[in-house]
Amino acid sequence: MWTETKPQLFVSEFVGTLLLVFFGVGAAVLASEYIGTLGIALAFGLTLIGLAYALGPVSGCHVNPAVTLGMYTAKRIDLRTATAYWIAQVVGAVLGSALLFLVAKQVPGLKTSESFGSNGFTDRSAVQINIGGAFVAEVILTFFLVFVVLAVTHRVAVRGFDGLPIGMTLAAVHLVGIPLTGTSVNPARSLGPALFAGGAALTQLWLFILAPLIGGVLAALAHGFTHSDVDPDRLDEPGEA
């Protein structure tokens, strides 16, 4: 179990989440008209791949409270470290959203009220998905993401080519989730934009905090069964699965 709480870990998660929100949500806020759903999905996925290579060796590049909760549930990190990660992720997401809001306000005619890349259901969903459908979708989408992260990582850190499947999974998750809820799978990513969007974005925020956390826990429990015979300490050894 990882029990380090060095300042570098906090800063890594803070910077990583800030950049993920700025570029991922920024693609939705500033460029959706030009790049569409595929472009937004790739923006999230490619940003995460870059961050995984840059920050994976430092903090593991969770940049997502649901991933950190999955790691904690899987007993790869202790509660103190997880708490430090959660604080860094939330602060990073809020600051990233603030910087994006500042940029968006410089674009004439760009609407940010009750939108701003926030997540939603019913009338705030492209397909008008109801609250139950949105909840189930976010649980399943987050389950997929966190399960892949747990399966490909060596304990906590992202190593070697680990960033590729993680980033590709996040892109795939967005391709499915954007029409449904705008895709959260990350409570920090949902919180930051909602604070600046206001209105219904805030009243619906609870779902995009709770559902991803449940998905993260379920992914950790499932991973414990499917990979119960895999020794994480030997994953990098030649010839080992």
- Does the residue 21 lie in any domain? yes
Length of the chain: 241
- Does the residue 172 lie in any domain? yes
Residue 234's pLDDT is: 41
Residue 88's pLDDT is: 97
- Does the residue 240 lie in any domain? no
Helix (H, G, I), strand (E, B) or coil at 2: strand
- Does the residue 49 lie in any domain? yes
**Long-range residue pairs from 48-52, CB within 8 A, at least 24 positions apart, any chain:** 48/20, 48/163, 48/166, 48/167, 48/170, 49/163, 49/164, 49/166, 49/167, 49/168, 50/163, 51/16, 51/19, 51/20, 51/163, 52/158, 52/162, 52/163, 52/166, 52/167
Residue 1's pLDDT is: 59
- Does the residue 241 lie in any domain? no
- Does the residue 1 lie in any domain? no
Helix (H, G, I), strand (E, B) or coil at 127: coil
- Does the residue 2 lie in any domain? no
Residue 109's pLDDT is: 83
Residue 165's pLDDT is: 94
- Report CA 45 to chain centroid distance, whole Å: 10
Domain count across the chain: 1
In contact, 45 and 171? CB cutoff 8 Å? yes
Q: What is the CATH number of the domain that holds 21?
A: 1.20.1080.10
Q: Which residue has the tokens 């920050």?
A: 55
**Residues β-bridged to residue 77:** 2
Residues of the chain with pLDDT under 70: 1-5, 154-161, 230-241
29: Cβ contacts below 8 Å, ≥ 6 apart: 100, 104, 110, 112, 115, 116, 117, 193
Q: Which amino acid is at 193?
A: P
In contact, 154 and 232? CB cutoff 8 Å? yes
How far apart CA 230 and CA 84 sit, in angstroms, is 28
Q: Which amino acid is at 72?
A: Y
Residue 9's pLDDT is: 92
Residue 240's pLDDT is: 34
How far apart CA 72 and CA 87 sit, in angstroms, is 15
How far apart CA 124 and CA 114 sit, in angstroms, is 9
| CA within 13 Å, CB half, 152 | 23
Residue 237's pLDDT is: 35
Task: Quickly count: other Cβ atoms within 10 Å of residue 241's Cβ.
Answer: 8
Which structural domain, as residue segments, surrounds residue 204? 7-228
Residue 54's pLDDT is: 94
- Does the residue 238 lie in any domain? no
